[in-house]
Amino acid sequence: MLEISPDTNRITIRLPKPLLCELRQEANKKDLPISSLVIKILNKNVMVDKRFKSMPTITIPQVLFMKFIENMEDSTLDRIAKAGPMIVKKICKLSEWKYDIESVINNHFMILAKYFGWFHFTFEINHYSLYILGTLFPIKHSTS
C-alpha cells in the first residue's frame, strides 16, 4: 500500500487549461511528474518572496546587469561593495533572521545561488571564508 509522507498533504486545485498545458510541457522537458514541477515552482516563489521581497527589488536580465558592471569605475564598485553588509543587515532585520554568517549564507546566498543561478559557492564557517564562482564573473571574498 502506498503511504503518503506525514510531512505532505494532498490538495486539489483548479488551473486554467493554458497554464496546465504549459506546466505539462515544462514537466515533460524536465522529465518530471507535473506535481514535482509544481512543488518546485511553489517552493521557489515562496522562498524568493519570503527572503527578497522584504526590500524593494529590481529584477533585470543578467546581460543588462553585466553591462552596468562593465561600465562602472572601480571606485563605484568599491562603494557598492562596502554598502553590502548594511543592506544585508537591513534584509535580515526585515526578514526576521539573525544577522550572523551562517544565517546570511543559509537565508541569502544559498537561495540566490539555487534559484537565480548567477553563481555557485562554497564556504568554511570556521574561517569565515566565502568563495563565489560566478557564471557571469569570478568573485572571491574571504574574511578571516
Domain annotation covers residue 47:
yes
Domain annotation covers residue 86:
no
Domain annotation covers residue 28:
yes
Number of structural domains (the chain) is: 1
Domain annotation covers residue 122:
no
Average pLDDT of the segment spanning 10-28: 93
Domain annotation covers residue 1:
no
29-67 pLDDT, tens digit each: 999 999 988 988 888 777 777 666 666 777 778 788 888
Domain annotation covers residue 45:
yes
Domain annotation covers residue 20:
yes
SS (H, E, C) the chain: CCCCCCCCCCCCCCCCHHHHHHHHHHHHHCCCCHHHHHHHHHHHHHHHHHHHCCCCCCCCCHHHHHHHHHCCCHHHHHHHHHHHHHHHHHHHHHHCCCCCHHHHHHHHHHHHHHHHCCEEEEEEHHHCEEEEEECCCCEEEECC
Domain hosting residue 42, numbered range: 14-53
Domain annotation covers residue 90:
no
Per-residue pLDDT, 136: 55
